[in-house]
Chain A
Amino acid sequence: MKNTLRVLAAIAFVALPSMAQAQQTGSINASADIATVFAFGASTPLSFGSVTPGTAATGTGSIAFSRNVGVIWTLPDAAATGQITGPGGTITPTYTCGTGSTAATITSAFSTCAPATATSAVLTVSAPTSLVNEFVIFNGSLSAAQTNTVPGNYSGTIRITATAN
């Protein structure tokens, strides 16, 4: 009887691995690519309004921007950024500039609003953890001395370049 049990144990030992091999596993990959979002949106013009000569004036302008990657901000007009030109010649307002989560407040300031060169980065931001909707903001001011000039319309364009980082 002992011999018989040994034989049966041997059979079970051989048979069980055979049964275990009846399960197999395969796999496939699943994948998706989330597109880069990197786009300007609506802009709000910077207007000093109707200014009385000899008085100071201020104005705020902004442009919306959405991104889910990093960005390098540059000002292609360099030192001439934000200049306005009219009947009395060219006026260079004083600016503060940068980005913010709302159009009202700058939270990350540009290093300068009138860089020495068009390619100088005024702010470099690494990739966010998610989509960011922000604003590039320019706050301008004119001194009383600057507005004491020939009447007329003075205008210009503030150009901003965003390069994916």
Chain B
Amino acid sequence: MRGTWQRGALAALLFVWSPTVAAAHAQVATVSPVQGLSFGLLLPGAPETVPLDDVARRGVVALAGTGSLDVTFVLPAALVSPEGGSLPLSFSTMSAGLLQSSGGPVLPFDPQQLQRVQLATDRVTHLVLGGTAQPATTQRAGHYTARILVIVSQPGT
């Protein structure tokens, strides 16, 4: 009798665990960098904004998979040069957007807030990112870079 109860409890737990694990495998998305965010050639003292509809300069990341995902950007405060110079960046509440390969407009969102995204197997979802570079009037000439992280996780994990 006691062994029967134990087997029942184990079966129940397996029933609870199995769908969760299966769902975790099914909803894993692929995150693929497509294009960097490029502000181009700037003059000292002249801020430059890359809007979301600037297809040549906006940053693009492709998401593929199924199910709901939470997307978080880790945004740098500044670009830096090999000489140690710093070029401040800023991002507005409309600096990021969602773009579906199936068509439609860019749906903007705040890149500094977690964004829930619904993926589907029949399309690729693109995250696009703009922003503003703010070179100082005394900005030193040179090449400035930074890395933008995109963290994708299942809701609740």
Residues on A lying within 8 angstroms of B by beta carbon are: 1, 4, 7-8, 11, 15, 18-37, 68-69, 127-131
Contacts and interface: CB of A to CB of B under 8 A. Distances in A.
B140 A30 contact: no
Contacts of A127: 83, 140-141
23 contacts: A8-B10, A18-B25, A20-B157, A21-B28, A22-B157, A24-B28, A24-B29, A26-B149, A27-B149, A28-B60, A28-B148, A29-B145, A30-B37, A30-B89, A30-B148, A31-B79, A32-B87, A33-B40, A33-B142, A35-B43, A37-B43, A68-B139, A130-B138
Nearest to B79: A32
Contacts of A129: 85, 140
Contacts, number: 157
A27 to B, nearest CB: 5
A73 B137 CA distance: 24
Contacts of B141: 34-37, 68-69, 127
A28 B140 CA distance: 24
Report, as a range, how many residues of chain B touch the other chain.
35 or more
B93 to A, nearest CB: 18
Nearest to A164: B141
A68 B24 contact: no
Contacts of A15: 17, 20-21
B36 A29 contact: yes
A19 B19 CA distance: 12
A4 B13 CA distance: 11
